[in-house]
Amino acid sequence: MVKNVLITGASSGIGRATTELLASKGYNIFAIARNEKRLDEISGANINTLSADIATEDGRQAIKEFVGSTHLDLLINNAGLMAPSGNLSNVDLARWRYQIGVNVEAPLFLTQNLLENLSGGRVLNITIYSSFHVRPGLAAYGTSKAALNMLTE
């Protein structure tokens, strides 16, 4: 039986590598990313792509509609935003809130939107080493990923 996997942040880095690996093993992939151009570079008969911003209600609703009634065996909340980075004394509030939206709120509310599709399925939230250990210049990113760790727990 073919397994269905939804991966956010699928157009680059860990998300793209995971998308390509699982697709090569026969999984049916729902690949989600904001960057439509990079997303279009990913191809395969079993890769379905959608450009959507998971930090917005509209983006999450578009993903829900894209998946439809398909059962998901796995949701990989991989999308992450590292900016703003740098000295906390210069952090812009709007950018900070958007980063929290992508890294913390989106995994929660996307998972919530897809609960019916995930019956018996699993959720994997991707975090990073700097969520446990301070790294200069990445306090905002580490803070958001630490929050995701607690949300996952």
Measured N-to-C along each axis, helices 57-67 and 106-113 cross at an angle, to the nearest 10 degrees, of 40
Closest CA to 32 of 71, 73, 94, 80: 80
In 3-state terms, what secondary structure has residue 67? helix
Give the C-alpha separation, 74 to 1, whole Å.
Answer: 14
3: tokens are 């397994």
Closest CA to 125 of 1, 2, 9, 4: 9
Catalytic residue check, 141: yes
Q: Give the number of other Cβ atoms within 10 Å of residue 19's Cβ.
A: 28
Hunting for tokens 């191809």 — which residue is that? 43
28: enclosing H helix or E strand: strand 28-33
Catalytic residue among 27, 98, 129, 141: 141
Question: What residues act catalytically?
Answer: 141
